[in-house]
Amino acid sequence: MDTVFQILSDELKAAFRGGVDEPWSDERFGDLAARVFEYQLDTNQVYANYCRKRGSMAAAYSDWESIPPVPTSGFKVVPLVSGDAASVERVFRTSGTTSGGVSRGEHHVPDLDLYRASLVPNLEKHLYGGDPLRLLALVPSPEEAPESSLSFMLGEALDMLSDGDGEFFVGANLGLDVGGLRVAIETACTEDQPVLLAGTAFALVHWLDATAETGLSFELPTGSRILETGGFKGRSRVLSRPEFYEALSTALGVPASRIVNEYGMTELLSQFYEPVLSDPPDPEDPAVGALDQRAHFAPPWMRTRVLDPVSLAPLPVGEEGLLCHYDLANLGSVMGVLTEDLGTLDAKGGLRVFGRVDGAEPRGCSLAMDDLLSGVV
């Protein structure tokens, strides 16, 4: 690990560990973004060639919004490593494949401690809030799925926020241990131990289907909460979000107001959360309880832009477009990531995600990919 990386990484870790309560000024974010951008230009030849092709080098040093983002599809075709590739500690891979079964996206991470410094304060703020929670995770353990960034994240939650109190309930064959999870829930109820039940929506729906077959339902201890990581498709059926949350509430005794959605991706080392636990809405607000009114918020070391899918020009607040994220935790790869997710930003910085673009890759992403591939050496 080179000296410049170590200096920047240590500074970012200290900043992240300061927590997510206080927003960062544009000046603070912009200063760090400029230094991360300079480091990535100096140490990532593919990215440097891409930025020159994009033609916005000078402006990017003084304005983070001018830093060229890389499409998520770029993580599937070329290693995006800033610094010494030999120093990479872990490669996280996306769960799916391209339509042709060609490849999975890869995020090369030189410093797992930087990832830890980003994810732990965010989880603590939005899910734990200082409460002692037993973690019941519906994903494979980090040991069984070392390429999964979600498994890594929940492994850190278990070790650093739940003090090792918890268990993973998806095995190496990706099967959900329904019986083991039932016993763990019954034990938590008997001991009156609040839990954080965390997993993909797919796994949670599988659990709901299994309990429906037996007619089982539970009342998790007061203070329990659920983290679901998006997507509402089950094995054989599709649930709307209200149906999904109602089913979880009925089966587990956890109200929808204590179910939190996380928005994240392998290509980013920071996550967005709905602040329904950390910053509960005014109970007199008529929109309280309306799932379509919920917004996600990023930690202060992230910024998001909403862009026109064709031109990649910025769109006004409230207008729907492609989401483009800038994550300072991505020091060892590329800070700017252009997604194929559609969404909006509100005046308070709240993000609403509407899903992925249907059909062909958006023209703006396609042109950016052409520029990225033309710079591969």
pLDDT score of 288 more than 80:
no
Residue 376: pLDDT over 80: no
Write out pLDDT tens, residues 60-70: 777 999 999 99
Stretch 240-247: mean pLDDT: 92
Q: Check residue 289 and give its pLDDT.
A: 65
Residue percentage of the chain with pLDDT more than 90: 75
Residues 251 and 314 in one domain: no
Question: Which of 70-84, 86-100, 236-250, 320-334 is predicted with the least confidence, judged by mean pLDDT?
Answer: 86-100
Domain boundary (248, 265, 293) is at 293
Task: Assess whether 135 and 238 both reside in one domain.
Answer: yes
pTM above 0.75, yes or no: yes
Are 275 and 310 members of one domain? no
Residues ≥6 apart with Cβ < 8 Å to 175:
none
Beta bridge partners of 314: 307
- Boundary of a domain, candidates 237, 266, 293: 293
Distance CA 250, CA 218 (A): 8
Mark which of 293, 325, 340 sits at the end of a domain: 293
Q: What is the pLDDT of residue 72?
A: 95
Is 155 part of any domain? yes
- How do residues 92-130 score in pLDDT, each as one tens digit? 999 864 444 557 899 999 999 999 999 999 999 999 999
Same domain, 138 and 272: yes
| Domain presence at residue 247 | yes
> What domain range includes position 26?
3-92+300-374
Does 97 map to a domain?
Answer: no
Give me the pLDDT at residue 322, please: 96
62 and 196 both lie in a single domain? no
Calculate the CA dihedral of residues 124, 130, 131, 133 and round it to 10 degrees. 40
DSSP 8-state code for residue 197: E
Same domain, 202 and 264: yes
1 versus 23: the higher-pLDDT residue is 23
> What pLDDT shows up at residue 377?
57
- The mean pLDDT of 273-294, rounded to a whole number, is 80
Tell which wins on pLDDT, 150 or 357.
150
Residues 6+ apart with CB under 8 A from 114: 9, 12, 13, 16, 269, 329, 331, 332
Residue 281 falls inside a structural domain: yes
State yes or no: pLDDT of 236 exceeds 50: no
Number of domains in the chain: 2
CA quadruple 195, 198, 203, 204: dihedral positive or negative?
A: positive
d(CA 371, CA 377) in angstroms, rounded, equals 12
- Kindly state whether residues 226 and 256 are assigned to the same domain: yes
Same domain, 132 and 233: yes
- Interatomic CA distance for residues 341 and 65, integer angstroms: 18
